[in-house]
Amino acid sequence: MKMVLNIGMPAEKSYAGRASIVIAALVATALLGACSSSQSAPSTTSSAPATTSDDIPQVVVTHAVLGSIVREVAGDAVEVEVIIPNGKDPHDYEPSARDIATLNSADLVVANGENFEPAFEDILKGLVSDGMSVFFATEHVTLRKGSHDHSHDHEQAEDDQHSDEEDHSDEKVDEHGENDPHFFTDPATVSQLVPALARALADATGVSLVARVADAISAFTAIDLAVREKFNEIPTGACKIVTGHESLGYLADRYGCEVIGVVIPSLSGLAEATAQDFAELAAAMKAENVTALFVDEGTSTKVSDRIAAETGAKVSALPSHSVPTSGRYGDYVLSIADAIVAGLMTS
């Protein structure tokens, strides 16, 4: 019988050598809750349903970025499988029957939480009710509040659209709450969940990760330092950005950037911008001399292209849901930093 864990990745030498400190209190917390060691097995990214066995613990993760974090903590101790394809926007992914079967066969399911994967909400609640082990990452990090009003009614948004806009009555709307679920763009925030994730992995699989906790925290610390070096290339006060939707709040707060506005005033890219939203954003960009606009994966480019035409800003793609081919979380965050630095320095 699997335990109910209704509770809120592998360390690379290239990062770990750059970390200067390890947070002793976090390590101690993990040591107290860890379980005994067992046989380790290589990880995989197979899209087939997990085939649980006694000697290969199966951990199923909802989205690719979170999967890279889990691998940083777990190393090769468990088999990690990701449901939502790399590069696909979790906000609008609809799980298949095969996906549900994979979730049901897991020793542990790791999800983002805060309705980041809206189509999975009822499924995850069902797994918990059935006694399966589910770990919600956002329950173990300090969350920031969204900075925009997310109470726009969908019908009102349609009424406010320009008369030449097409009908969007069948489109999805933002279902996020007040908390920002995009914690994974900030490695320092990510490091907060390491002890709890290590305990959940140990409890669900019987694999002790005591020896990996300090290395994982050290790796995330090194990633944080590497990303900070990237942003240090931007002149002081010049990191003013506009994104497709409200997705870079954690990263901006951590590295001294200012989010002047968003194309879609929402924590997901599923809502719609009204005529008033468009006018206010264009005015703010002109007032702050913002010359770069970053569009997240999954966000429509129609409005951003209009704003770019109105303001003269350069539009750049932001790989917000894509983990590079290396599979490393550090490379994911650095790819976002590279995109922002290049967009700001060349616009």
Nearest to 122 by CA among 103, 141, 145: 103
**51 C-beta neighbours (distance < 10 Å), count:** 11
- 223 pLDDT more than 50: yes
Binned at pLDDT 50, 70 and 90, residue 141 comes out as very high
CA 295 to chain centre: 16
Stretch (H or E) spanning 221: helix 210-231
- 172 pLDDT more than 50: no
Three-state secondary structure call for residue 79 = strand
The one-letter amino acid code at 261 reads G
- 17 pLDDT more than 70: no
Predicted pLDDT of residue 221:
98
Beta strands in the chain (DSSP E): 58-61, 79-82, 108-111, 134-136, 240-245, 258-264, 292-296, 314-318
* Cβ proximity of 60 and 51 under 8 Å: no
Mean pLDDT calculated for residue range 189-193: 98
Handedness of CA 36, 219, 29, 8 (dihedral sign): negative
Q: Tell me the two tokens of residue 34.
A: 């860890």
Query: CA–CA separation, 303 vs 228, rounded Å?
Result: 31
DSSP string, 77-93: SSEEEESSPTTS-GGG-
Residue 99, phi then psi, degrees to nearest 5: -60, -45
State the Cα torsion 129-71-294-145 to the nearest 10°.
Answer: 40
Which residues are bridge partners to 80 per DSSP?
A: 59
* Cβ proximity of 248 and 186 under 8 Å: no
pLDDT tens by residue, 32-62? 444 333 333 333 343 344 444 457 899 999 9
Per the model's pLDDT, the better-predicted residue between 338 and 170 turns out to be 338
- 9 pLDDT more than 50: no
| Domains of the chain in sequence order | 13-163+169-223 (3.40.50.1980), 225-346 (3.40.50.1980)
Mean pLDDT calculated for residue range 209-236: 96
Over the chain, what is the mean pLDDT? 80
Binned at pLDDT 50, 70 and 90, residue 25 comes out as very low
- 246 pLDDT more than 80: yes
Q: Tell me the two tokens of residue 308.
A: 């770019």
Predicted pLDDT of residue 275:
85
The one-letter amino acid code at 30 reads A
Predicted pLDDT of residue 210:
93
pLDDT tens by residue, 85-119? 999 999 999 999 999 999 999 999 999 999 999 99
